């Protein structure tokens, strides 16, 4: 907003002081530099890339190893804790992967890389595409999903999963939660 307030007097001055075609181009050039560019991403792609990344696969493997050891040792309290934790992670990741739940915590893990992605894409800010409920037509939207996905070093299979998933609309969060509850009752 401050940029806009600074540029408006300059635009008026340029418009009234000069009337040639060349000067009109200068005005357009000045205005173009003040366009807000917003980088957006499909949060579903980010969660898929994150949960299928090597560090997370190692965490999951360690979790199941602890769970199996607790079962072998008869530590029912630890078994219950680890099962509850696993179920909670799964429920959150379903909300993120099939609906529009936030993945900001995963992007926080690669925060140091985000300024470079923003610079390369020429964007001023990066947000989930599901959070853009209105935009002024003068704002440029740039999809940076693939750039963010690459931060998690996805393999070819992960990229194919992401490609298929992003071709579908996300499931409304309430509908997803109802489906999860139905599945839990069936078990």
Question: Which of 30-39, 78-87, 145-154 bottoms out in mean pLDDT, i.e. has the lowest?
Answer: 30-39
> Distance between CA 43 and CA 28 in Å, rounded?
35
pTM of the model: 0.75
If DSSP codes are grouped into helix, strand and coil, which group holds residue 133?
Answer: coil
DSSP count for the chain of H helices, then E strands: 10, 3
Calpha distance 52→114 (Å, rounded): 20
| Ranges of each domain in the chain | 1-34, 40-186
Other CB atoms within 10 Å distance of the CB of residue 152: 22
pLDDT in tens, 33-68: 578 999 999 999 999 999 999 988 998 899 899 999
């Amino acid at each position: 907003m401050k940029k806009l307030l600074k540029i408006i007097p300059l635009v008026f001055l340029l418009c009234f002081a000069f009337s040639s075609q060349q000067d009109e181009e200068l005005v357009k050039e000045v205005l173009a530099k003040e366009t807000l560019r917003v980088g957006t991403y499909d949060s579903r792609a980010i969660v898929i890339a994150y949960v299928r990344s090597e560090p997370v696969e190692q965490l999951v493997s360690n979790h199941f190893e602890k769970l199996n050891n607790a079962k072998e040792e008869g530590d029912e309290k630890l078994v219950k804790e680890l099962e509850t934790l696993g179920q909670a992670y799964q429920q959150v990741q379903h909300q993120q992967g099939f609906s529009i739940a936030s993945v900001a915590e995963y992007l926080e893990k690669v925060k140091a890389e985000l300024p470079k992605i923003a610079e390369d894409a020429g964007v001023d800010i990066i947000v989930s595409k599901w959070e853009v409920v209105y935009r002024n037509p003068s704002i440029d939207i740039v999809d940076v999903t693939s750039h963010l996905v690459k931060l998690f070093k996805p393999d070819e299979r992960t990229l194919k999963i992401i490609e298929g998933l992003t071709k579908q609309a996300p499931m409304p969060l309430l509908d997803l939660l109802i489906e999860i509850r139905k599945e839990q009752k069936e078990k």
